[in-house]
Amino acid sequence: MKKPRQQLGSHAPLPLKEGFYFVLIILFLLEIAGAQTTRNATVDPSEARALNSIFQRWEISGTNQRWNISGELCSGVAIDDTTIDVINPGIKCGCSFNNNTVCRITALNLGQNYLTGPLPASIGNLTRMQYLSFGINALSGELPRELGMLKDLKSLSFSTNNFSGSLPSELGNLTKLTQMRFQGNSFQGPIPPSFSNLTSLNDLRISDLSNGSFTLDFLRNMKSLGTLVLRNNNISGSIPSNIGDYQNLTLLDLSFNNLTGRIPDSLFNLSSLTHLFLGNNTLNGTLPAVKGPTLQNINLVANRFTIDNSNGRIALSATEFSLQSRITYLWAVSNVGLPSDSSNPKYKSSSSSQFTNTLDSELFQTARISAGSLRYYGLGLENGNYTVRLQFAEIEILGTRTWKSLGKRVFDVYIQGKRELKDFNILRETGGTSLRAVAKEFLVKVSENYLEIHLFWAGKGTCCVPAQGTFGPLISAISATPDFVPTVRNRPPSTKKNRTGLIVGIVVAVGAVTFLSIFVAYYLAQRRRKKKSYEDEDFGLAKLYDDKKTHISTRVAGTIGYLAPEYAMRGHLTEKADVFSFGVVALEIVSGRPNSDSSLEDDRVYLLEWVWSICVLNLRAY
């Protein structure tokens, strides 16, 4: 018997395959309807006028852009899933307002566009803005107070510009902010108290505030902070005692301020902290005894810390000191500092370019750089007046009219403890043209047989343009020329009188071993075990050749074992030092071995120490 046909209105279920296709069709129709609704939505007229006026100010074309494909601002990538950071210049829109009939501008990216002049107050009309970036431009003037009307803002960046004036207190109204980047400008302090309302921040960067002092009290409730950079802002007071509550902190930079007091132990034990920069403050007390396993990069230089030992309290040195064995001329070099946000710091820079305003381009194709403090010491100089010539050439920040030329390398130069150059900017000296040599000469008096040249980064300028870590001192060459006829030299004696002294020196060299073994050999043996990282230098012209890592290190360039005791102890250089040195050379000739040989047993590493031990044994035998 045939089964009756199913009635047309029956509710028998659809087969699985047909049901799946049915759902896809419904979703497709909904997508089309949504897209059609979005296309029918138009941008708010007041926001369109505000945005167009901003674009007209800087002659930015709003047509033929990926986000303006139909004459409607909110079209193309402005309403799809493309992220704002890859659209430049670009906008993003939200079109769900007024029953999906109105679009509002929610993001504006104009970073790295070489924009100049002030920021227009009409920016305050974009009240639905969540992301706003004008970073890495040449904008100037004061920030408009109308920014405080953008209460939906989550990310705000004005870093690396020329803004000045005070920070508007109205910025404290932006309570949804999670990211604020204002570093690399010329704002005036202090930070307004209203900033304490910004408790949602996880990234706060403000630097180079002039005038006005303030404390860190405004951070009291910002427990979500992951990155905090408040460098060179005249901050006073102490580090908050509750800093241990900031468990999300990964980078903390409070360097170049006026902070006092002790470092809380809890700061060194934050579970996420990897970079800590507290250098160039007046912090004191002892350092925490234990640090967390994640804390790998620490800079605490130029403070007033002490450490305990069995003899009481001693000052904690910021650098290590040891001797370098392969250089004849006596130079010492100290390079201190570590770039923040840089996993691969470098300490030299090079370029194959030619320099049109000098006959010696090769001299400027390599340069030593530092992320903080770079010192050169010339040792063993005869007292008197010298002409010191410092030579620079900017080879990293190129003077092209693009955002990559907006980096600002600013540092100070001290000679013999006196600041000779303040806020020195190599590009400014050349009128904005890179790859040009700049020379500065100074008349310097040497009174204690040494010359100190100190290039110091005071936390000013940019940090990351055109690349991460592009800041701090840079120098290509140094020369020191005496303004008199020297009476001492680094050559063997030639006159009959000096040759006689040489013979005497050979005879008495063994007798002088007592002094050297006590004052020099032991010292050198201990210091030699430390890592060596210095390059060849010439006293007449300090020039970088082979480079190795020199972070937080100080090296004296001088040949081990050839220093006379009186020079090693007091720095007093006379012709007797030559006599002693040539006596050491005579011992090398007689023994047939170098003055120092680390491949030998410990008691034979140093020739003079070994000879002295033999003498002692022979004397005891008699």
Residue 279 · residue 255 · CB < 8 Å: yes
Which pLDDT value is given to residue 597?
A: 75
Q: Is 44 helix (H, G, I), strand (E, B) or coil?
A: coil
| Distances, alpha carbon 478 to alpha carbons 150, 387, 537, in Å | 52, 11, 10
Which pLDDT value is given to residue 618?
A: 65
Residues 446, 252: Cα–Cα separation, whole Å: 40
Residues 396, 476: Cα–Cα separation, whole Å: 13
Residues 564, 428: Cα–Cα separation, whole Å: 46
Which pLDDT value is given to residue 605?
A: 75
| Distances, alpha carbon 139 to alpha carbons 106, 125, 184, 429, in Å | 22, 20, 12, 21
Q: Is the pLDDT of residue 320 over 60?
A: no
Range name among 6-10, 212-216, 296-300, 381-385 with the lowest pLDDT average:
6-10
Q: What fold, for 29-258? A: 3.80.10
Taking alpha carbons only, the member of 510, 411, 503 closest to residue 462 is 411
Highest-confidence segment of 56-70, 347-361, 424-438, 546-560 = 424-438
SS3 content of the chain, % helix, strand, coil (to 5): 25, 25, 50
- Per domain, the residue ranges of the chain are 29-258, 331-482, 496-532+561-621
Rg (CA), the chain: 34
pLDDT band of residue 426 (cuts 50, 70, 90) is confident
User: How would you classify residue 341: left for phi > 0, otherwise alpha for psi between -120 and 50, otherwise beta?
Assistant: left
Q: Is the pLDDT of residue 57 over 60?
A: yes
- On whether the pTM is more than 0.75, the answer is no
* Cβ count near 59 (within 10 Å): 7
Tokens linked to 448: 């204690």
Which pLDDT value is given to residue 124?
A: 94
Percent of the chain with pLDDT over 70: 67
138-141 β-sheet, strand order: 116-117, 138-141, 162-166, 186-188
Cβ-in-10-Å burial (0-12, 13-18, 19+) of 399 comes to middle
Residue 605 · residue 598 · CB < 8 Å: yes
Phi first, then psi: what are they for 46, rounded to 5°?
-65, -35
Which pLDDT value is given to residue 184?
A: 85
Tokens linked to 264: 């809380």
Tokens linked to 312: 């009481």
Q: What fold, for 331-482? A: Jelly Rolls (2.60.120)
**Residue type, position 82, single letter:** T
Task: Spell out the SS3 assignment of 405-432.
Answer: HCCCECEEEEECCEEEEEEECHHHHCCC
Q: Is the pLDDT of residue 157 over 60?
A: yes
Residues 132, 142: Cα–Cα separation, whole Å: 17
Q: Is 274 helix (H, G, I), strand (E, B) or coil?
A: coil
Enclosing H/E stretch for 515: helix 513-516
Residues 340, 469: Cα–Cα separation, whole Å: 7
Selected residue with higher pLDDT from 142 and 304: 142
Tokens linked to 179: 């990211």
Q: Is 257 helix (H, G, I), strand (E, B) or coil?
A: coil
Residues forming beta bridges with residue 553, ordered by sequence position: 335
Residues forming beta bridges with residue 92, ordered by sequence position: 107
Which pLDDT value is given to residue 570?
A: 44
pLDDT, average across residues 261-277: 92
pLDDT, average across residues 550-578: 45
Tokens linked to 346: 């470098």
Q: Is the pLDDT of residue 351 over 60?
A: yes
Count of CA atoms in the C-beta half-sphere (13 A) of 78: 34
Dmax over CA atoms of the chain, in Å, equals 140
Comparing 29-258 with 331-482, is the CATH topology the same? no
Taking alpha carbons only, the member of 354, 355, 379 closest to residue 439 is 355
pLDDT band of residue 550 (cuts 50, 70, 90) is very low
Q: What length does the chain have?
A: 622
Taking alpha carbons only, the member of 118, 138, 145, 106 closest to residue 57 is 118
Tokens linked to 535: 């390059």
* Cβ count near 303 (within 10 Å): 19
